[in-house]
Each structure stands twice: as C-alpha cells, then as structure tokens.
Chain A
Amino acid sequence: MALPSYAGPLETFWYYAFRAFCGLVFIFLISPLLIIIPLSFNIEPYFSFTEGMLAFEPDAYSMRWYKEFFTSDRWMNAIQNTFIVAICSTILSMILGTLAALGLSRSELPFKGLIMGLLISPMIVPLIISAAGMFFFYSSLGVSQSYLGLILAHTALGTPFVVITVTATLSGFDHNLVRAATSLGATPTYAFFKITVPLIMTGVISGGLFALMTSVDEVVVALFIAGAEQRTVPMQMWAGIREQISPTILAVATLLVCMSILLLTTVEYLRRRSETIRGITPQ
C-alpha cells in the first residue's frame, strides 16, 4: 500500500498520520512487555526506574531478583506444580481432543452441533463461572485441593483448543488418501498411523501448545480449587502482586515473556509446516 504518485497533499498527510497512529498502537501493544525487562534488573526493591538506571550506571542493575527467584523454595515449588499439572493436562487434552475431533469429522455423527457446542463450552463460559461451579462440585467430590482436581479442571479448559485445531486440520484432509492406502492392502489401523496421524500431527501439537499455555497461565480456576500444596506460578504471581510488589515478579514475568516468544515461534513454524504438507502455498 505505497502512497500513489497522484496523491495530493491532504492524502499524503493522511497517509503518514495513519501510519503514525498505527505505530503508536504497536508501541502500546509491545511496550508493556519490553518495559519489564530492564525493570527486572533493578537493584532496588522498587517497581519503577531509579535515577541510576536512567543514567545507565552499572551499579543500579543487578541479577538480585533472578537470584531470589531461583533460590526461593516457594517459586521453585510453584514451577514444579505448574509443570506437573500442565504436562498431565496437556497430554490428556491431546488424547481426548484428538479422538473427539476424529469423531466430529465424520459425517455420520448425530447431533454434531450440540456435541461440538458442549465440547467447546469451557472456552465460552467466563472463567469465574467455571471456577465457581468447579469449586462447589469438586469439593463435594473431594477432589478439590488436590493435583487430580487441578489436572481435571485444566484438561477441561484445554481440550477445546485441541478439538478446534485438529478439526480445522481435518477439514482440509483428503479422505481419498486413506481409501487409496486401504485399497492397496493397508489395514485400517496401519492406514491410520501411516497416513492420518502424520497429516494431523501438526494440528494436534499446536492444539496441545494452546492447551499447555492455557494451563500454565491459568489462575482463576486454580485460585478456587487448588490448595496451598498445589500452588502454581500464576497463583504465586497473583499473591505477589496483591501482597507486596517485589521485582521478583518482574523477573518471573521476563522469563515468561521469553517463554511466550519460544511458544509463538513454535506455533508459527507448525502452522507453516502444516500448510506446506497440506499443499496450501505457505504465506
């Protein structure tokens, strides 16, 4: 959308004003993520820039809060809990979600709309309502304040992402490939693992990454149904922000931003790979 050569002065003005506005919006989007990085190296226990930091004095910067983070039992324990819960719930989501997506892609499935609606409902219902409902129900079952309860809850919240991504991958899936394999003598199981699985794998993995991210970042449900034993990183951050704001949180936040960059790259890579495999021109 380059500025056309016939543009008048007003149009030229609008062209640059528009770009400047977009630039500001991009700054608005990204600056909160960047600002925490230098702040996390603050030597003082404050949430704001000190004069020394602004003058770029090396003394004003330190790894203090990272050290505190990596030596704190609470945080390390929280990381461990987060990973236990996230990994278990992601694996469960991937298995259950992929099976369901395979079923949903069959035209013979009755009540398809209703089933799809139910399966993705955890994504639509506001988290505070899910949390409230789960709090009552899981307590009465005796699984609240346990790893099991938290894993079940996070699995329920994560599966819609797997269902949707795998269903989307299957929508471009050429069933003739499976028919061809079977007609050439492959058993249905063999055809499934040799033809279907490799083609839907990218969908399964990116759905799984969404589910992983949901669990790693989830705090509302965790606050309601996890006990002190299952304290996760987001719960610890929540407590930290509410009680005393220490730059340790910013150190954690910086690490989490790095993690999102990593995840974003992976998902983007998978998306392009999937398009290449399915014969869509990569964009």
Chain B
Amino acid sequence: MMTNTVEAEGQLTPEEQKRLTADMHRSLRRKKFRALFLVAPLLIFIMVTFVAPIVSMLYRSVDNPQVLEYMPNTSAALADWDGKDIPDEATFAALVTDLAEGRKNHTIGKAATRLNYERSKMRSLITGTARKAGRLKPPYKDKVIKIKAGWADIDTWKIIKRESKSLTASYYIAAFDMETTPDGEIKMLPEKERVYFKMLWRTIWMSVLITLLTLLLGYPVSYLLASLPMRTANTLMILVLLPFWTSLLVRTSSWIALLQGQGVINDILVWFGLVNDDSRLSMIYNATGTVITMTHILLPFMILPLYSVMKTIPPSYMRAARSLGATPFTAFFRVYLPQSVPGISAGAILVFILAIGYYITPALVGGQTGQFIGNMIAYHMQGSLNWGLAAALGVILLVLVMGIYALYSRIVGNNNQMTLR
C-alpha cells in the first residue's frame, strides 16, 4: 500500500523502488539479528542448563538399555524365539555366557534389577543362577533349570524378550498402576497395590483443598487491602509480603514448633482446658500438617494477584448499586464478585500449580498421609533408585502442570507472571 502512494507521487522509478525494498529488508534483517544476538546467550544457557536436563529426563522415562546391554547374547538368541515353548539349548548357552560374563564384570545386577521391576523374584532368579554359571559345562538347559526352577517358566523368557528392546513403556505402565502380563496384555493392578494413581489423586485433591483454603482466606483480605486508603493498605501489605519473602524452611520449621504435640497451639488449647493434656491434637506429620503449612506458604500467591485485579475495580460501582437499591449482598455478588473473577482464576491456578509440585513441605510435615507425588519422585530418585519410574512420574506431573499453565496464560496473559513462585 505504501509503495502505491509513493508511486502515485511519481518520485521513484521501479528500480529505485526495488532497491529501497531490498535496503529495508536488509536493515530489518540486521535488526532481527541484533535482537536475536542479545537473547542468544541466555537462550543457549537455558537450553543447556535447563531444557536439556528436562529432555534427558523425558528420554530416561522410556530408555531401556539394561537387558540389551548386559545380556546381549540372550537378547540376540531370543530375537526369533516364537514364545510357544521353553527356548532351546542354544538360548540357554547364550544365557549362561551372559550370566558368567555379567558376574565377572559386576553388571548382571543391573539387568537383574531392571527385570525385577517387571516381576519380583527375577533378581534372585538371575543373580542366583549367575553365581553358579561360571562352573557349568554343556549341555546347559537341564542344569540351569535345576539351579532355579524359574527358568522352566515360559513367562520368565517372555519378560526377558519383551524387555530386550531399547525403548520401553513399562515405566509409564507402572506409573499408572498397571502391569503388563507376560502375554503382553496391559491391565490394572489389584486395588490394594495401586500406589501412584492414589498418590497422584491425593496430590490433586489436597492441592485443590489448599487452593480453596487460600481463596477463602485470601479473598476477604485482598478486598480489604484494595478498599483501604493507600497508606494503610501499604502498611498491611507488609504482613503479606514478609511471609512471601521469608524462606520456605523457616516457615515450615516454625509450623512444626506451632503444631507439634508439645507445641504452642496444643499448649494454648490445654491451658484453656479445651483439650486434655494427655489427648493433645495431632496436627502435624499427617495430611493436616501439610494442608495448614502449605496454605500458609501459598496464601501470598493468592492475595497478590487478587489484590492487583481488585485494585482496578472502581469502588463507585458498588456505591452505584447500593444507591439503586441493592442490598450489600446483592451489590457484592452481582457487581463486585463477577469483576474479580480474573483475579480468582489467576490466583487459584497459580496456587494449584505451585501446590501440586511441592516436595519439601510435605516431606517435612506430611508424615505418612500428607505426602505428595513429588515425594514419590524423590523417593525413586534417592531411595529405591528406580530412575526410570521417577522420570516417568516426573513427566506425568510435568504434563499436568504444563496443561494447567497453558490455561493460566490464556486467562492472565503473559504480563502477570511476576507473582509465580
């Protein structure tokens, strides 16, 4: 359009026009590169120090090298096994080679641990046989079965064959409390053995509860702060910002001092005679402890976005409604509340996202019943060392959080993220 105007004035020949366009493109490109050049250092840094670790975790949740790497002969021998009968002598010979070799290199334990995730008893089957494998002479088949009867079970072989692929879905299957039968069917575990789904579910509903509590406590306070004169509001705001700026561990340890059996709150209750000295309330090292502590920790994250939205609602609207005959309640529910909805949804989603990924607080005050899925991830990282499962649980949590975050940015846009964490 611009070129048309210029042409109409008749000042530029087509060649000049072309040159001008080229110049403009070149200058634009240069500006583009300059902008990219400024962003590049951090972008590369984040890619290497943050995005690559997350991607490597994604990969680890499906990575399955152990059987293939530490039992190479058996894997190869099983490649064209039809799965109908116990494998032949050649496969058993391959197995004995792998076991003897693996025992010498101290690697067979890794393959055994991996297979044990699929079926308990696999570890003892493999390590027990490996201990004697070095001294065996052919023919192997009957001798191996004599050492451990498990080798006569066709399912053992089916599992080894299945797990000798370099990628596996089995960590995800386990993370959803399901199992693969030796015949390759995926089914739910019996009710009693379902751990992770229950944990994920508990994490979600406890996060919802915490979100609702922060909303219940935060809404009136934000309303008060937004309607008070600036000077008073700023002073009271310190009471919100100070906890916000205080270390998570400080607040958690302080709640331990408050809530424990011999703690301040129980002491007060006993002193007032509301509770007997020998029946003090147990408010910590259980779900109650997690909910109270996390509500306190996350409350500022609810108040700040609510406050920033309420600040923009003109107080004259409420006055107008009142002067037109509305009761205070009608005025609030019909006029004020609908206008504060963006703040509610922003605060709620923010608190929920933060809550669902928590690990430290539940670990310190959660006891048995107040643990979150994050604690399960940490346990498999540091305790059971089942890293594949930890990674799979991490990816599930990540997908969940990212989904909710997408919702959050839709609602809030991209400019209100300062209040995150």
Q: Which residues of A contact B (CB under 8 A)?
A: 1, 11, 14, 18-19, 21-22, 25-26, 28-33, 35-36, 39, 46-49, 96-97, 99-100, 102-104, 106, 108-110, 113, 115-116, 118-130, 132-138, 140, 152-153, 155-156, 159, 161, 163-165, 168, 171, 213-214, 216-217, 219-220, 224, 234, 237-238, 241-242, 245, 249-250, 252-253, 256-257, 260-261, 263-264, 267-268, 283
Contacts and interface: CB of A to CB of B under 8 A. Distances in A.
B41 A22 contact: no
Contacts of A48: 257, 260, 262-264, 267
Contacts of A128: 357-359, 374, 377-378, 394, 397
Contact of A224 (B28, B248, B381, B402): B381
A122 B398 CA distance: 12
Contacts of B31: 106, 108
Interface residues of B, number: 93
Give the secondary structure class of B's interface.
Answer: helix
Nearest to B228: A1
A21 B216 CA distance: 11
Contacts of B414: 113, 116
Given A26-B221, A121-B50, 4 more contacts: A103-B38, A126-B353, A132-B377, A252-B250
Given A11-B328, A156-B46, A241 B253 contact: yes
Give the secondary structure class of A's interface.
Answer: helix
B164 interface: no
A283 B54 CA distance: 42
A1 B233 CA distance: 11
Nearest to B57: A133
A120 B224 CA distance: 32
Given A11-B328, A28-B217, A124-B420, A33 B267 contact: no
B39 A263 contact: no
A193 to B, nearest CB: 16
Interface of B: 28, 31-32, 34-43, 45-47, 49-57, 60, 217-218, 220-221, 224, 227-228, 230, 234, 236, 238-243, 245-258, 260, 262-264, 267, 296, 299-300, 315, 328, 353, 356-360, 364, 374, 377-378, 381-382, 387, 390-391, 394, 397-398, 401-402, 405, 414-415, 417-418, 420-421
Which 8 pairs, one residue from A and one from B, show the smallest C-beta to C-beta distance? A126-B357, A103-B38, A133-B53, A103-B39, A137-B53, A100-B42, A109-B35, A1-B227
B51 A118 contact: yes
Contacts of A126: 353, 356-359, 374, 397-398, 401
Contacts of B34: 106, 108
Given A48-B257, A256-B246, A264-B245, A130 B224 contact: no
A65 to B, nearest CB: 13
A32 B57 contact: no
